[in-house]
Structure 1
């Protein structure tokens, strides 16, 4: 029994190391910066929770505008018997490379209005979020295993929260402002309605930046629907 007690600390350390270990990424796609994509999110309420599936066009197509604009929420809701649908696009990636592992590196595909999309993540939305609705500058928990890589020499755009948490832009959106392009991002603060204490800034990377989500990513949007992941 004494030997067993001596082993317990070592076992706890091993468990902690396994929990914090980096995932082995199985898929990778590069040259993404400023590449167009679209997403469709849908889900059905289960008791007090809403599980939302996130499909996007990455690696399959560039979300043709003539097809994208024909898709309706009503059509998706009917097809999948969904109580929640969001048409999230067009968007443009801001990282240079994405690596994926685990359930994120899957081959689950659906076709929406003739546009093929791959299942990329799931989002669990609690009752409070459902009642209050989506809020800008409020992080959501996204279930995915990814590594977003931003290359040295490239600019990144960040939101800094009052508590010091830093969120890096993963994509900019043309949902609210259809004319927004990458060249507008250095001066985007002029268009943002930043809550008190929040800061928008740009940084030129001196070395590669990796944002690893080992099962969970914390993602928020600004008032223009641009998306940011927590560092």
Structure 2
């Protein structure tokens, strides 16, 4: 009897420790830099920081990223993006979310794009080395037009439907795959902006890893005849903490 009680106690304590470890703060920071000279002079700097922590049943996540590209002494790309999301977990699979973001892309025709949304999220599939989440809900988007690039365009204020999906797979002990797709669908006749990131992360040593990613950003009705599709391919060093 005492042996059985001892085993049960160990099992309960182990489960509690595992739950506490799962809820510990975590995050990662990545940095990429390249510079070429000679026949062409191009400088590229990319940085990103992501952090997650828990307060009771609230899971909070923050993300900041920046991209700067200078080509022949002229800036050809400059972008800053930030987002924050809080999830209230009903259980391991279901949650309500609140989301805000701000996108400053100096070559998009907008000074900034601010978005806020709330809705329901659900984990459709889960196992120790794989999960698939999907989210949906209503929101609001405000796009401030850059008058220097598009003097004849007005600012855009729209009710949106936000959808987001995230897939993660640890396909080996030292490598993982991650796919995220989101779309802020305008319900007011203005531009719908969709984003996608496909990434493979390979561990190097300790907390240091190498990340290869392809990012896509699609705008249905860009201002001032801008391109609808922006692509970004990157190779960065990533530090997990």
TM-score with structure 1 setting the length: 0.27
Higher strand share: 2
Task: Decide which structure has the larger Cα Rg and report it.
Answer: 2
TM-score with structure 2 setting the length: 0.26
Between the two structures, name the one with larger relative contact order (CA 8 Å, sep ≥ 6): 1
